[in-house]
Amino acid sequence: MSHSVMASNRRLLKNSAAVTLSVAIGGILVFLAMIILARYLGVEDFGIFSTLLAIVSLIQLFADGGMVNITIRDVARDNQSLNRYIGSTSIGLIMVSALLLLITGGVVYVADIPSKVGVSLLLMLLAQLCALQGLIFGAAIRAMEDMEITAFIGVVHKLMLVAAMWGTLELGGDLTAVCAANLIVNLIQTLWLQWVVHRKYGALVYRFDRTLWKTVFKDSLPLGISMVLRKLTVHLDILLLSVLATVFAVGLYSSAYRVLQLIETASIAFSGVMLPVLSQLAVQDKTRYAGMLNNVLTFMLAAAIPLAAWLWVASDNLVLALYGEDYKSAGQVLQVLGIGLIALIPASLLHPAFAAINEQKILMKLAIASLALNSVLGVILIWYFSYLGAAIGTAVTECVVFFTGLVILGKLGYGFRNLSKVLTILLSVCLTMLVYQLLPQQAGLLPELLRLSACIPVYLMCLFTLRVYSIRDIQLMLKKPNGNEQPVVNS
């Protein structure tokens, strides 16, 4: 293997390790912030916070419009365009963000929303739009594959967020004060990322380029619509619960969903690492693209299935340890949502997989179908089963969308051919869960995590003993696009 190929492999390994570690630490810190909010605010106020966050997240994605992912793709293909591309995209996003903020403020005023809720909504929206600017600067760094930088800044940002949430609430701050603290933390992160881009890659050209913007808008629109619809599907249950049920039900559902979100965030970040690689392979070598896609999907299923099994048996203990007695009814919700993880984790790879082959319209169609299905299931099931019905609807929708995506990839010539490995993964999980059940059970978070940690080596040993993965498989997954070897896809 040549020196350049070895260097490329080391860079991919470095990026994967940095992002994985960053997401693991950052996800835990965000989850800790949610626990702090849930305990300090109580079930009902936490339900209000969750509803506002759902609304703001949708508006932020509408402003994004898929431009962050398209920016990563295009800059990764043409590094020389970075300064002009990032600068123009940043200016365009500022214009869109200002318009959305103005519209939202008008709606708050006309709808005569209570001042506390209205001000909190606007502050939270401003914080999210500020973070979106940071994502554009971060996209430049990620496209250049210097992901350890964004990983480090991301962890520091989450540390500041936890400190800000705890300090604000400990000093007697309310929901509005929490949103203001979030805005300050996001502003610091955005300015930091901007400074890094200027220093490392040169000054950005902050000039609105109509031709460039038109191209970006055209390419990102299908992806952006799919992302908005996807996010709407994710938050739909919270929005439906706030209308069809009670704020208390929203709080219970949200507390369980935060556990799922912690895991989902890691899978999305990992998929983000694969976007530049898949984008290059799709252009250079479609055979290696198909092989890489199969191997990564198998890897993600190998992570998703045991997590789903663990949440099924440990949900009650986890909810009580994290949130306390007030949230004990959320244990059943976590069980059901855990089943959805089997599809949710590998489904995060669908976005980079389709974006890499310029099939963003398929993502949009999948998102529309997902939203429609979740809406129908949500209305029916929430009406009869409240927050538990919302969880069932989410789990069913995730499974349908994932398997539909696999079928479409197959029709495009990139079918999933590692079914035998998935069956072996299921066997490995069953053997591991037998060991898990034999270990002593104690209440509390630490004993539960220790019990889980003791089973991880058992599971890994099963995977390698049963030949789900070999060292060669891992090497091929880490191999950069300029390598010559092609991954072997098991039939």
Q: Give pLDDT tens digits for 95-118.
A: 888 888 898 888 888 887 778 888
- Identity of residue 219: D
pLDDT class of 83 with cuts at 50, 70, 90: confident
Interval 212-264: pLDDT, tens: 777 777 777 776 676 677 667 667 788 888 888 877 888 888 888 888 877 87
Mean pLDDT calculated for residue range 284-309 = 89
CA distance readout (Å), 430 to 195, 212, 408, 459: 50, 53, 30, 9
pLDDT surpasses 80 at 79:
no
Structure tokens at 277: 């690689």
Contacts of 418 (CB under 8 A, 6+ apart): 294, 295, 297, 298, 489, 490
Q: Where are the beta strands (DSSP E) in 216-328?
A: none
Query: What pLDDT score does 479 carry?
Result: 60
Whether residue 266 has pLDDT greater than 80: no
| Average pLDDT for 314-331 | 87
Report pLDDT for 1: 46
What number of residues does the chain have?
491
Using alpha carbons, select from 360, 362, 353, 363 the residue that is nearest to residue 275.
353
Structure tokens at 272: 């983000």
What's the rounded Cα separation, in Å, for the pair 270 and 74?
Answer: 19
Structure tokens at 176: 């509005």
Q: Give the best-scoring range by mean pLDDT among 37-46, 267-276, 341-350.
A: 341-350
CA–CA dist 116, 113 (Å, integer): 8
Q: What single DSSP character describes residue 480?
A: -
What's the confidence (pLDDT) of residue 481?
58
What's residue 137's pLDDT? 86
Angle at 269 between CA 266 and CA 270, to 5 degrees: 85
Does this model's pTM top 0.85? My answer is no
Q: What's the confidence (pLDDT) of residue 16? A: 65
Q: What is the mean pLDDT of residues 120-149?
A: 84
Assess contact for 443 and 321: CB atoms under 8 A.
yes
Closest CA to 311 of 343, 342, 340, 338: 338
Q: 3-class SS at 180? A: helix
Neighbour count for residue 182 (Cβ, 10 Å): 23
The confidence score (pLDDT) of residue 234 equals 67
List the chain domain ranges: 1-208, 236-479
pLDDT at 185 over 50: yes
- Given a contact cutoff of 8 angstroms between Cβ atoms, the answer to whether 349 and 271 are in contact is yes
User: CA 362, 280, 263: angle at the middle one, nearest 5?
Assistant: 60
Which of residues 390 and 269 earns the better pLDDT score? 390
Average pLDDT (294-312) is 92
pLDDT reading at 68 higher than 90: no
Distance CA 32, CA 12 (A): 30
- Specify the DSSP class assigned to residue 490: P
Helix, strand, coil abundance in the chain, percent, nearest 5: 85, 0, 15
Instruction: Give the confidence band of 302 by pLDDT, cuts at 50, 70, 90.
Output: very high
Region 427-450: what's the mean pLDDT?
89
Both structure tokens of 422: 């998935």
Instruction: State mean pLDDT over 16-35.
Output: 79
Q: What is the pLDDT of residue 422?
A: 92
Band the pLDDT of 376: cuts 50, 70, 90. Answer: very high
